[in-house]
Chains A and B, each alone.
Chain A
Amino acid sequence: MTIRKALWLLGCMAMGLAMAQPKVVSGYENGKPGGTLTMALASAPQTMFYYGAIDSAIQTLANQMFDGLIEYNYKTYQIEPALAASWTITGESKVYTFKLRKGVKWSDGRDLTADDVVFTYTQIVANPEAKGGDAGNFAGVKIEKVDASTVRFTLPKPAPAFIHYMRLPIMPKHKLLPFSQEGGKKPGDINNAWPTTVDPNEVVGTGPFKLQSYTPGQKVTLVKNPNYWKRDADGTPLPYLDRLEFLIIPDSQARVAQFLAGNLGQLNITGSDFPSLKQREVQGAPIKVVQFRALFGSPPHLAFNYDDKNPELAALFRKTEFRRAIQSAVNRKRIIDDVYNGLAELPGNGVAPVSEWYYDTTKLLGTYDLAAANAALDKLGLKKGPDGIRLLPSGKPLEFTLTYGSNSSTFTAIATIIQNDLKAIGVKANLQGVLAANLLSTGRGKDWDAILLGFGDQPDPELRTPIWKPGGDLYYWHQSTQPITPGGQPQFSNFLPWEKEVYDLWEKAASTTNFTQRKALYDRWQAIFAREAMVIMIAKEFAVGAVSNRYGNYIYSLGVIPGYNPVPIMYQK
């Protein structure tokens, strides 16, 4: 080989490197390539198309096969570049412009372009008939291609948290066009893309792994995507693992058994499985049980129906003094110790304690004090009757149903503890169990008094607007504040004074872009939430995972949260 030829080759290689723009993940052990990791899915996937169903199995799988424009840092949950290498936010936080990472290829070798991004958001995400889409948050948003590697989103009004929606997985236009409106189909036909019988080669993504095979009801196998765009600190391409296998195991006991037998490499568990696994770790089993303070996850709360059918109860439930009195009877410490085996912390009010948005509401949560609760109820004029049950002004006993998710051991245990403590202060709660899947529809109905429910926390409070902003779609405990027609104005005349204040804070926060100012507004809201005991937050559970000692770089896998995927840095020792 002549020197000139060698130089020319070197030049070409340098050009190639300059064109590709891999993301370097640093701060972790350098692993070695190869190996297989087996994990569990709690149910069979309903489709191989992320947006075709609301299904935790495909969400978990899609996390490994697809990427969004942005993603979260493993440690801080801060937003980081993913498929978009950089972006600018202009026009008072209304114009978002994303520059795509150079050299990203789909797993079939085609280049990722702005067309794919525009297609994903216009044809799928904003399509109201895509079952797993997110049309509501993209109403009125203009999505356009600026050039082959630039995409621009123009919002009708400022939305500082909009950037978080950019973690939704980007789909390949060249494979999905035939199912879209652009390809001449009906809007609902997008749901038919990639059914579970699809040829695995059709399922093309940019993620660390790609689909290899699906054995119905039993197993999904993914293999390494050689075109993946991440590197470790040494420049070794990620992911380290060659194969990712998911066994479909619906029963949680069976999952633990399979993990203990060594057939699963990693498992997300709950506080109730913790003691037996931890004990085995201590006894020398080759496993490690790890706990993390969680940002995501749904802390349970106790809500009272401000619009109860029984007007006497409704009037009582609207009184802050009543809800605070009940709060004093909620034994959070016992719940954390007994129900969660100590793997939980005091809750935030609408914001996880580990979040950067958290305002310390510990003092406002009150302490467990039955004497104080009794005194507060006395002060409300609720005298005890002959059988120890307090009487309402009308002379009827203070009695209501407490609805909870009967197929969750956590919720059942919490409901029983609360019922017991309420009895001690002369309040009779009758437990009513419903399937956890039906809890929210029960809450959104009118036929309930008190309910135990959980809502997921998010990295930015604005993403939870429908829940915490009075009059919102999921502000179910005070439904008379909700608009009469969908999308209309809330019924302000039914607002309680502090609800109006909260409403104004949220309105203001939604159009403020400065972090410090927004934080101050949400701090104020959290304080009001806690002070008024809008709903009574119970506890925030830790994330607990178990992993075999064969694997390194283990970080708790959140599973269904798009934009957070620590599996690529895991390696087999």
Chain B
Amino acid sequence: MWSFVFRRFLVAIPTLLLISALIFGVIQLQPGGFLENMLDDPRVSRETVETIRKQYGLDQPAWVQYLNWLGKFAQGDFGYSFLNNRPVAGLIWERLGWTVFLALLTILATWAVAIPLGIYTALRRHGLGATVANFVGYFGLATPDFLVALLLIYAVLSSGGTNVGGLFSPQYIDAPWSWEKFKDMLAHLWIPLIVIGLDGTASIMRQMRANMLDVLTQDYIRTARSKGLAERVVLWKHAVRNAINPLISIAGLSLPNLISSTIIASIVLNLPTIGPFLYDSLLNKDQYVVMALLMFSAILLMIGNLLADLALAWADPRIRYE
């Protein structure tokens, strides 16, 4: 088991190196650059830009810049944000709290809704409830995040509500925690949960449903039933446990979504997550911020995969690493 984890780590290193080179290369290929954009302002002369270019070491050959960045990254120094005149790490850290909170909450809510619904629609394939759930599922898959967000905002506005974005009303954003602030947050939270979660809920529900339908026709289910086991035991102990297995690997893949999946929803709903920050940095070509966030995304994907594999081994006795 531990040797498996160790081997996975070893394999991850060259993969991450390759990814880092790709990320760096793509950023270098972008036309213009942060400093070029500065020239848009008539106050900035070409000489000023050259001075600043030297100051940041951007006048060196690309491979020197790459090695410098990589070396520092490995030591935990994620570089410097040109835009903010500050180290990247602090900037990411500031925005991490709400990002993780929202992502975990959404994943939790998604699973809590999707799995029972998936099981339900598989068992009552032709009932009214299943049809409605399926319809909502299709709708959730087909509508883009931002559209759902705009529809919800419109609905709130036309019913006279004021919670049309963000996680708090303006007066609570920088207020200390209180019961009132918590209630205010709950009044805001349902919109992002629906917007970010709808997509995932629909797809997990449909997968759970398909898995269940698969499993229910298997021989061992028939065997269990013919042994005279109670339907409850057959369903929960045998069918659901096996049907849920493939979803565990999906759960692992959802980790990097922490960074990238909420970009558009966060912009439209004005959520204080990493997403808009990444978007803004991309537009402004703030290269070290972008590279750090993309690297994190890759690392999270690897960690997520590893966790999924371990969870699978735990859940499925047929998988063993020894």
Contacts and interface: CB of A to CB of B under 8 A. Distances in A.
23 contacts: A44-B277, A44-B280, A53-B84, A128-B51, A129-B51, A129-B55, A131-B44, A131-B52, A134-B43, A136-B45, A137-B43, A192-B85, A196-B84, A216-B94, A245-B170, A250-B280, A251-B267, A254-B153, A254-B267, A254-B268, A257-B157, A441-B37, A467-B42
Given A188-B55, A195-B86, A261-B162, A135 B45 contact: yes
Contacts of A248: 270
Contacts of A251: 267-268, 270
A441 B83 contact: no
Contacts of A245: 170
Interface centre among B36, B47, B51, B270 (most CB of A within 10 A): B270
Interface in B89-136: 90-91, 94-95
A292 B48 CA distance: 36
A474 B269 CA distance: 38
Interface in A119-134: 128-129, 131-134
B46 interface: yes
Interface of A: 38, 43-44, 46-47, 52-55, 128-129, 131-137, 188, 191-192, 195-197, 213, 215-219, 221, 245, 247-251, 253-254, 257-258, 260-263, 435, 437-438, 440-441, 444, 464, 466-467, 473-474, 486
A554 to B, nearest CB: 19
Contacts of A467: 42
What are the nearest 10 A-B pairs in CB distance?
Answer: A216-B94, A261-B162, A219-B173, A217-B272, A257-B164, A261-B164, A134-B43, A440-B40, A46-B84, A215-B174
A211 B153 CA distance: 31
A251 to B, nearest CB: 5
Nearest to A136: B45
Contacts of B95: 216-217
Contacts of A136: 43, 45
Contact of A133 (B42, B43, B163): B43
Given A261-B161, A441-B36, A467-B42, A129 B48 contact: yes
B101 to A, nearest CB: 14
B140 interface: no
Contacts of A215: 173-174, 272
B45 A54 contact: no
B40 A247 contact: no
B208 to A, nearest CB: 34
A533 B157 CA distance: 48
A253 B166 CA distance: 13
A513 to B, nearest CB: 23
A571 B269 CA distance: 30
The main secondary structure of chain B at its interface with chain A is: helix
Interface centre among B31, B55, B170 (most CB of A within 10 A): B170
Interface string B273-285: 0001100100110
B90 A197 contact: yes
B53 to A, nearest CB: 11
Contact of B85 (A44, A52, A253, A258): A52
A217 B37 contact: no
Contacts of B37: 437-438, 441
A47 to B, nearest CB: 6
B32 A441 contact: yes
Place the interface of chain B in its size category: 35 or more
A216 B274 CA distance: 11
B272 A440 contact: no
A163 B169 CA distance: 43
Interface of B: 31-32, 36-48, 51-52, 55, 83-86, 90-91, 94-95, 150, 153, 156-157, 161-166, 169-170, 173-174, 267-270, 272, 276-277, 280, 283-284
Given A218-B166, A262-B162, 16 more contacts: A43-B280, A46-B83, A46-B84, A47-B85, A55-B83, A135-B48, A188-B55, A216-B91, A216-B94, A248-B270, A254-B267, A261-B161, A437-B284, A464-B42, A467-B42, A473-B45
A216 B157 contact: no
Nearest to B277: A217
A16 B156 CA distance: 55
Given A133-B43, A134-B43, A135-B45, A191 B270 contact: no
Contact of A53 (B45, B85, B166, B272): B85
Contacts of B150: 253
A196 B51 CA distance: 24
A196 B87 CA distance: 11
A438 B55 contact: no
A91 B90 CA distance: 52
A441 B39 contact: yes
A480 to B, nearest CB: 17
A263 B170 contact: yes
B191 to A, nearest CB: 11
A197 B86 contact: yes
A195 B153 CA distance: 34
B170 A129 contact: no
A260 B173 contact: no
Contacts of B85: 46-47, 52-53, 131, 191-192, 195
B166 A247 contact: yes
Contacts of B270: 247-251, 254, 258
A38 B170 contact: yes
Nearest to A220: B174
Nearest to A249: B270
B283 A435 contact: yes
Contacts of B156: 261
Nearest to A47: B85
A131 B31 CA distance: 21
A32 B38 CA distance: 42
Contacts of B55: 129, 188
Contacts of A444: 39
A359 B157 CA distance: 47
Nearest to A45: B84
B278 to A, nearest CB: 12
Contacts of A257: 153, 157, 164-165
